[in-house]
Amino acid sequence: MFGWLGRTVVRHPWWTIVAWLVAAAVAVALAPKLDTHSDQQDFLPTKYESVQAAKLADTAFPSGSTKVSNELMVVKRSDGAPLTAADQGKIGRIAKTLQSQHIPGITALATGPQTVSQNHRVQIVAVPLPTSFADQKLEKKNEDTVKKLRLAATQQFKGTGLHYGVSGNVSSTIDNAESDNKTMAMIGLATVVLIITLILLIFRAPIAALLPIIVVALVLEVSNAVSAIIGNAFNLKFDSSFSQLILIVLYGIGTDYILFLLFRYRERLRLGEDKKTAMMVTVQRVGEAIASAAGAVIVAFLVLLLAKFKSFGALGPQLAIAVGVMLITALTLVPAVVSLLGRAVFWPSKSWKKEPKATTYKRLGGFVGRRPLITAVASGIVLIALASAAIGFKANYDFSSGQPQNTESAKALKDLRSSLPPGLTDPTQVYVKGTGPLDPQVLEQFRQKLAHADGVGQAAPAQLNPDKTVAKFSVVLKLDPNSNQAIDLVKGPLHDTVHQNAPPGTQVFVGGTTAIFGDINKVNTRDLSVILPVAVALIAIILALLLRALVAPVYLVVAVLLGFTATLGATVALFQGAEGKDGLMFQMPIILYLFVLAIGTDYNILMIARLREEAREGHEPRHAAAVGVQHAGPTVAAAGVILAGTFAVLVLSPMSFLAQIGFGVAIGILLSAFVVSTFFVPAVTALVGHAAWWPGHADRAKKPGPPAAEPYELAGQPR
């Protein structure tokens, strides 16, 4: 199949290029706007109590808040001293003045002695906003409201000796939007510069360096268009916070596939083949490995459709589509273009003409061939040692801690948390729903139970809907509402208290951000327990089909799982151990699954395919390992460094979440490329020998091989 594809593309390069461009233009022209969401609650199944609470709030309190009752204006003295009675009077008068200005969207500004902290360092002015997770237009209106409020407040506080800051979901969105845009631009630029620089160092050829940049830019537009079409057809919800990951994945994996082709193309040219024949053979030899690698990645991504947390359920298809478009491009457009360019793709360098005499990978290959047991044990110990740290993984749900800390909303939140109960920033909502009007006395008794529950700082009086059939209680926790302790409290003891003391004949629901994260916690645990085994099984099947063997896929899957666990362990060791963070962002295990388990499989496939190819040439297992590492090692290394580098760029982000992803995926790719694929897999394959290819015997020689002593000669050792 790949021989036919290579011949067709190379013999008709212009038709191939035109066909690709026409298909791309049609997809972009027909695509609707890509629909994205940012509210994590949007992605939870409706069966969860926090979602049911939010929907009840939307219907019972259509003009009220569902998740966030207030934006909070945090006021303190400019000199940091305690607020005086005169200061509190000023704050009250300013609040009344701001309310009298009738800023659109603001119905009231609430403050008073009860909102002053016990240490008198801060006073709160509550700004109720009618928010709804189902109404994106309303959220945009709220952003305009907060911007106008800030402008008006700046004028009112000028010269008062007081300092204010507005904190909350809406204000944080405003403050972080500019940072997000700058981060996206910075990451995109840094990624492009990194790829060009590294490929220039490898090939010393500007055309080869620019090729991935141009190709991936085209593929990004097409894959976004195809994602929009499919997302619209199947009502998929895409998470806007993952848009940067799509860009990084395409640059990384697209560059990988192009490098796989260029390295083999250069190898064929060195053997004296003309530019057309060299590319035909390249597609024939590498096409199967690229297709299998992409197939494993696509399958791993599509397994996310099994996720109950629909943020990942939509991310999987979106990534799969991007990789699919890149695969088609790598096997059609890229070979067509390179076959037209020929040797000019490596211009002006002449180094492509000669095989280096004593390369590092020649020596490494010789060592692996001579000492496979030592190599396998040493690389295995490295992976197991890192994997042991994964036991300490803790999930962190505090999005605010992962955002830039130099914005107005972040500083105001820090001031508030230092002086008031942390739960005030985001109260937990408890709803009571009756079949008829609710009894105020019974509701007050229920409120008292809530107020005296463990971990609760205060419970506000019930707010009733117009027909008095639904009551809402705002419960302020003594804990940071985004902390693991608060999540455990809300989904455990507090949840039990609410349901055990529910007024007779009523239904009760626990909602709010903390409850949402509690449900996300449950969903993530379930998703990982389902997705990981299914993905591993499907990847094993793809490997078995590629290799026509059952033994090699077993230790390849073990190697991939070791790499995944070692990556999580290394990330835990850095962020939770060295930096002392409370935990990693809750999405990290799934993210690492996506990019380390899935994409890291690429390198194993490329290496094992080369080992099989060398075995078919008649080499004995140890010699095949030596030659395989010698020839495939540089390709894996170059691709790994570039892919790791593109993710490492995320470490520059001011957002802790992206920095964690950047480090975690980068170290995972490096482990996959340099430990698993270069040492562990060839060493184990050499040890297992011919049995690795059972029962298909895919290593059956096509011609007599060289003498067994040759691997040592290849390694620069005397015979």
Domains 49-53+427-511 and 69-167 share a fold: yes
Q: Is the pLDDT of residue 3 over 70?
A: yes
Looking at the domain that runs over 69-167, which CATH code has it been given? 3.30.70.1320
**Tokens at residue 216, please?**
């991936």
Q: How many CB atoms lie within 10 A of CB 239?
A: 23
* Mean pLDDT, range 14-18, rounded to an integer: 95
For residue 241, name the pLDDT band (cuts at 50, 70, 90): low
* Mean pLDDT, range 359-377, rounded to an integer: 91
CATH 1.10.1760.20 fits 49-53+427-511, yes or no: no
360-398 in b/e form (b: 16+ CB < 10 A) is: ebbbbbbbbbbebeebbeebbebbeebbebbeeeebbbb
Taking the CA atoms of the chain, what radius of gyration do you get in angstroms? 30
For residue 133, name the pLDDT band (cuts at 50, 70, 90): very low
| Tens digit of each residue's pLDDT (9 = 90 or more) over 579-616 | 888 888 887 888 887 777 777 788 888 898 889 888 88
Instruction: Give residues with Cβ within 8 angstroms of 92, minimum separation 6.
Output: 111, 112
Half-sphere exposure of 195 (CA within 13 A, CB side): 30
- Mean residue pLDDT of the chain comes to 84
Residue 435's φ and ψ, nearest 5 degrees, are: -85, -15
Q: Is the pLDDT of residue 351 over 80?
A: no
Give, in order, the Cα–Cα distances in Å from 378 to each of 556, 557, 673, 679. Answer: 17, 18, 16, 9
For residue 708, name the pLDDT band (cuts at 50, 70, 90): very low
Quote the pLDDT of residue 242: 60
Quote the pLDDT of residue 640: 86
| Tens digit of each residue's pLDDT (9 = 90 or more) over 84-97 | 999 999 999 999 99
Quote the pLDDT of residue 598: 72
| Tens digit of each residue's pLDDT (9 = 90 or more) over 179-200 | 666 766 777 787 788 888 888 9
* Mean pLDDT, range 374-394, rounded to an integer: 94
- Return the HEC string of 325-373: HHHHHHHCHHHHHHHHHHHHHHCCCCHHHCCCCCCHHHHHHHHHHHCHH
Quote the pLDDT of residue 176: 74
The percentage of the chain sitting over the pLDDT mark of 90, rounded to a whole number, equals 33
Quote the pLDDT of residue 240: 57
* Mean pLDDT, range 210-231, rounded to an integer: 88
Q: Is the pLDDT higher at 215 or at 615? A: 215
Q: What is the largest CA-CA distance in the chain?
A: 97
Please state, in angstroms and rounded to a whole number, the distance separating the CA atoms of residues 276 and 336: 10
The domains of the chain are located at 2-30+176-386+519-714, 49-53+427-511, 69-167
| Tens digit of each residue's pLDDT (9 = 90 or more) over 522-574 | 888 888 888 888 888 888 888 888 888 899 999 999 998 899 999 999 999 99
Quote the pLDDT of residue 422: 73
Q: How many CB atoms lie within 10 A of CB 701?
A: 12
CA 452, 456, 457, 461 torsion: positive or negative?
negative
Dihedral angle, C-alpha 266, 271, 272, 275, nearest 10 °: -30
